[in-house]
Structure 1
């Protein structure tokens, strides 16, 4: 019978190794962007061989080091397992990468499923992000998070900001760029944030946006219409840095549906209250 106990330290080490391997591939291509073969999946949704090769490098390492775990990856799909599943984005910020904008990252997360044993002998009662790795190869910044232990940037412990309100916050967001079905919900929130914060930033890489919340560069962040692998690792980082990172619809145990808000206990609560009046009900992703 398969053990339901997760060796988190070993899994974290595997994820860090995989992130560095993928980043090496990305940076090799970054200096020769003109040679990249680029495909369009849907409108404004691009993929290159850099994405695909970086993803395969991650998968190869994780399959070798953690063969008992499932893998769900942006480009190649995959399937979950009973105990835990890796969520992989080999290149978060593909459009930035292809345009030479140095704001992109490798993002790898492990989601432990209900029933898995993490600490002690008490099984989890719900799916829980337990490992988050976000690596920014341009700044050589490695963000890591481990459930119940903490979050770090290049080995130094990090914490969310201490901003007391949105009025004294710089906040990150992402505009609709691929799916515009939620634009009527999103635009009023942007309008409010522009008027009631110190500034709004849109850098185009959700994993880094969440990592920056975790280390206090952003005081809060929200975005809609993302994918699970965009937010999985960042969720661990923010939560382990003392913050809140949740599903905007409060339907799922983590923002698997890609509607996410995050911040410290003050700013996230205020951000949630700002967003809710504009949202239309949606079915829980986990119940679909």
Structure 2
């Protein structure tokens, strides 16, 4: 049975994208103002190796102010202030993906904003979504002034130029990205054999510390593929759409969710993602 649509609501992806771009620039302004005065930041520990600063919180507040004014009909799920899904679609917000990099002065971090529409939502020109789906993505890297954007069916873009995933000749020719367990180590016994296999089977593996930039860089072909475990939904929502709209695959590593909101993600071209899934499956619990 098809999901029931939201008949009274027409989801405008272009308006949502414009609001998200404005919000991302506002957040980036906050972050860059603090980047020059990192020593004065108040830093808290949410959990082991899970840091939050006033830069995260103020950047998120700047995003929320814009989105609540421009798109009050959408729910909000934000890393620092929480929230909940509601209505036909909800924003997933990470105001500073790469907080540890930011706090150590490493210029590799980004603002991530995604709109995830519920199953049953009607999109122009009348398509009804069969499952929950990211439909708008904005990832802004203020250090490089790189703005990645995407809308469902409209492609993935970097500073106004369309991007596509890479097409390596074979798995041995790939450069992969990943993220090590840093907060939740419960899946380390699954992850480490995957890392060893990737290290021995490819040109190399990189770990730069920002999941959303790993996905954005996979979308534009800088990386050939990416996988990680134990992330949060706001870490992956925007990047998943970018990779998909760049002609690639971005899916749940365990194959159980329509988009990897559980934080176990694999992404790349159809060939590369397929190879990673096949090679990593034996190392997953129950694999």
Q: TM-score, normalised by structure 1?
A: 0.96
Question: Which one of the candidate residues 93, 115, 133 is aligned to 2:138?
Answer: 133
Q: Indicate conservation of the 8 Å contact 2:139/2:147, yes or no.
A: yes
What pairs up with 1:6-45 in 2 under 5 angstroms? 6-45=11-50
| Aligned mates of 1:38, 1:164 — CA distance in 2 | 45
| Aligned mates of 1:267, 1:122 — CA distance in 2 | 29
What pairs up with 1:185-224 in 2 under 5 angstroms? 185-224=190-229
- How big is each residue's C-alpha offset from its partner over 1:252-276, in whole Å with a ceiling of 9 and x where there is no partner? 1101000000000110100111111
Which residue in 1 is equivalent to 2:249? 244
| Aligned mates of 2:162, 2:154 — CA distance in 1 | 10
- How big is each residue's C-alpha offset from its partner over 1:193-223, in whole Å with a ceiling of 9 and x where there is no partner? 1100001000000000000000000000000
Q: Indicate conservation of the 8 Å contact 2:7/2:122, yes or no.
A: no
| Aligned mates of 1:82, 1:167 — CA distance in 2 | 45
Going from structure 1 to structure 2, the CA distance change for 1:18 and 1:281 (only over 3 Å counts) comes to farther
Question: Which one of the candidate residues 77, 95, 98 is aligned to 1:72?
Answer: 77
Which residue in 2 is equivalent to 1:286? none
| Aligned mates of 1:8, 1:263 — CA distance in 2 | 24
Question: Which one of the candidate residues 268, 274, 277 is aligned to 1:272?
Answer: 277
Q: Indicate conservation of the 8 Å contact 2:177/2:206, yes or no.
A: yes
- How big is each residue's C-alpha offset from its partner over 1:63-103, in whole Å with a ceiling of 9 and x where there is no partner? 00000000000000001013000000000000000000010
Q: Indicate conservation of the 8 Å contact 1:164/1:267, yes or no.
A: no
Count of aligned positions: 282
Q: TM-score, normalised by structure 2?
A: 0.96
| Aligned mates of 1:78, 1:229 — CA distance in 2 | 12
| Aligned mates of 1:211, 1:165 — CA distance in 2 | 21
Which residue in 2 is equivalent to 1:285? none
Which residue in 1 is equivalent to 2:66? 61
Q: Indicate conservation of the 8 Å contact 1:4/1:115, yes or no.
A: no
Which residue in 2 is equivalent to 1:103? 108
Which residue in 2 is equivalent to 1:166? 171
Structure 1 spans left out of the alignment, 5+ residues: 283-288
| Aligned mates of 2:34, 2:94 — CA distance in 1 | 17
Secondary structure at 1:172 match in 2: strand
State the shift of 1:2 in Å: 7.6
Asked if 1:184 is matched to 2:184, the reply is no
Asked if 1:116 is matched to 2:121, the reply is yes
Asked if 1:84 is matched to 2:85, the reply is no
Structure 2 spans left out of the alignment, 5+ residues: 1-5
Q: Indicate conservation of the 8 Å contact 1:167/1:198, yes or no.
A: yes
Asked if 1:4 is matched to 2:20, the reply is no
| Aligned mates of 1:155, 1:98 — CA distance in 2 | 30
| Aligned mates of 1:46, 1:7 — CA distance in 2 | 35
Query: Once superposed, which parts of structure 1, at least 4 consecutive aligned residues long, lie more than 4 Å away?
Result: none
Q: Indicate conservation of the 8 Å contact 2:102/2:108, yes or no.
A: yes
Going from structure 1 to structure 2, the CA distance change for 1:77 and 1:2 (only over 3 Å counts) comes to farther
Which residue in 1 is equivalent to 2:149? 144
